[in-house]
Chain A
């Protein structure tokens, strides 16, 4: 069974870390990641850019593009895609295709990645 471990934290605080504080946190996480990788248990790891860099495509007959993220709290994170896109326009197009394919209520939030490690699973 694979598990997703999603990271939640106060962005106000994390964005206030000094470079040194941030590097120290990343270094400590790196220790855990290296252990998991050595055991062949580490899948993709991604760090997202701040929510201010996000764009949201709200589902609907004609998907609506807004400055995100304004996902409502009653909506839960159900999963995520990692897609290579040349531009924000292309990313919005892709999210729009997904939104039309599953046009219940809800939204796709487009968050640029800051770090992506593809992982060692299935090796």
Chain B
């Protein structure tokens, strides 16, 4: 690996810690970002010559903080800065002091940084955009592309979000245990949203959005490294890995949706599955069940089945029932109906989703599932009607095309035959 590639990876890895600590010093996102940029520039000049420091994040925090303080002094005194060579000669002292920086603050710093991005005053899309910009350091151009908006529109959105946060009363003190638990939940949800933004993309869109899934996984891993004994974060990380492991099999060459049971399972990423399974196994030993763990456990049962027929649907049904208790939602019940259809048959599944219709009358997947169940029961006309509603509610062309395939499989519509 070249120096530059290594430094690039090291800067990306150190970014959340370094930026989090700089934010603690400056209490201002823009100032922290500027200081971090300056530190990165100096790292690019310095590390190839002197070798990478033992703790890149500590180095960047120290150098970034001093550079910003120098700037303030410089402006105050109107004196020229010492030449760059002189600053570089201080390298040995700098790194020695950087080594002494207290690493125990990192955890709260990063948590605070993530928490600021998922400020409840911001809409979800702004939370995601801000996290991707501030925590991950993704260029605005790439974030804009993922959200399918222009670069200047995204720039504006991020600026507005920052202004909103600057105006809000954001606490900078280390959070207490209760508040920390709340923050962890908010941050986990934000990471989950980043992932979904990438995951829910249509087939023709996946290459553009898949990096969001990778980034969400990176953030989840980071959070897990900060809180290595939190089962829900193990569960979240496992869930994202297990879902993303199926990415290469989810769409066909034409960008069409491939259902789980039709996916070529040898395309699934075994390494991600192995890590996901290891994490969910570990999480379950804590006996502190949470929604992410249950969802990961469901994904794990799919991952463990090498053929669709080997899927343990009874266990999946039980897990969905647990999820309904932990996090009641019509969408969870809808998902459970798929497992119920496999274990008790389509009739029972249809009875389960019947009461959901008033609340899910605008939900594409509701009518997709309903149509599929009716089709299994041989009620072609009712199925056709449900599929028609699904198409009307489809979010992407791929979704609509997928439902049309179902319609094609049904017996031809007698009304159409008369035409």
Contact = CB atoms under 8 A, between A and B. Distances in A.
Interface of A: 10-19, 21, 24-25, 49-53, 55, 65-67, 87-89, 112-115
Given A13-B6, A16-B13, A67 B218 contact: no
Nearest to B231: A67
Given A24-B1, A88-B285, A15 B278 contact: no
B37 interface: no
A15 B219 CA distance: 11
Interface residues of B, number: 27
Contacts of A88: 278, 281-282, 285
B274 interface: yes
B271 A21 contact: no
Interface of B: 1, 5-6, 9-10, 12-14, 56-57, 214, 218, 221, 224-225, 228-229, 234, 237, 271, 274-275, 278-279, 281-282, 285
B303 to A, nearest CB: 14
A25 B279 CA distance: 25
A15 B13 contact: yes
Given A13-B6, A67-B229, A49 B281 contact: no
Contacts of A21: 1, 5, 9
B196 to A, nearest CB: 21
Contact of A49 (B10, B14, B275): B275
14 contacts: A12-B57, A15-B221, A16-B218, A18-B214, A49-B275, A52-B224, A52-B234, A55-B282, A65-B285, A88-B282, A88-B285, A112-B278, A114-B271, A114-B275
Nearest to B286: A67
Contacts of A65: 285
Given A15-B13, A21-B1, A53-B275, A67 B221 contact: no
A25 B13 contact: no
A25 B1 contact: yes
A87 B304 CA distance: 12
Scoring A11, A65, A88 by chain B CB atoms within 10 A of each residue's CB, the highest score goes to A88
